[in-house]
Amino acid sequence: MTEVAMALLNNEQITEALKTLDGWKQNDREIVKEFELKDFVRSMGFVSSVALLAEKADHHPDIDIRWNKVTLVLSTHSEGGLTEKDFSLARQINAI
């Protein structure tokens, strides 16, 4: 599959997109959110759900699991920053 280049979002576009995403914060050229779940098993189930969405979108977050806390980091590495691809996946993740 050929990867289609995505346009980097400017600061104004990022600010507007973040207003639509509960809990996500910008950290330089990434967006980050920590999810707190009931326990480790639910954390792993959540990560599995995220993995299915990410695989379908062909866009994979960095994932840090700490017992009942899962931190997700999204960035379009091939473009060197944030694109609509990151915000689209973040919206899907928030819907889980």
* CA atoms of 52 and 57, how far apart (whole Å): 9
* CA atoms of 91 and 96, how far apart (whole Å): 9
Which residue, chain included where needed, has tokens 């979002």? 9
pTM to 2 decimals?
A: 0.92
pLDDT of 4 reads 56
pLDDT of 32 reads 98
Please check whether residue 52 lies inside any domain of the structure: yes
pLDDT of 6 reads 79
Please check whether residue 17 lies inside any domain of the structure: no
Domain containing residue 29: CATH number: 3.30.1360.20
Please check whether residue 63 lies inside any domain of the structure: yes
Count of structural domains within the chain: 1
Please check whether residue 70 lies inside any domain of the structure: yes
Please check whether residue 53 lies inside any domain of the structure: yes
What does the pLDDT look like over 45-64, one tens digit per residue?
999 999 999 999 999 999 99
CA geometry: angle 79, 83, 86, nearest 5 deg: 110
pLDDT beneath 50, residues of the chain = 1-2
* CA atoms of 87 and 85, how far apart (whole Å): 6
Please check whether residue 59 lies inside any domain of the structure: yes
- H or E stretch covering 35: strand 30-36
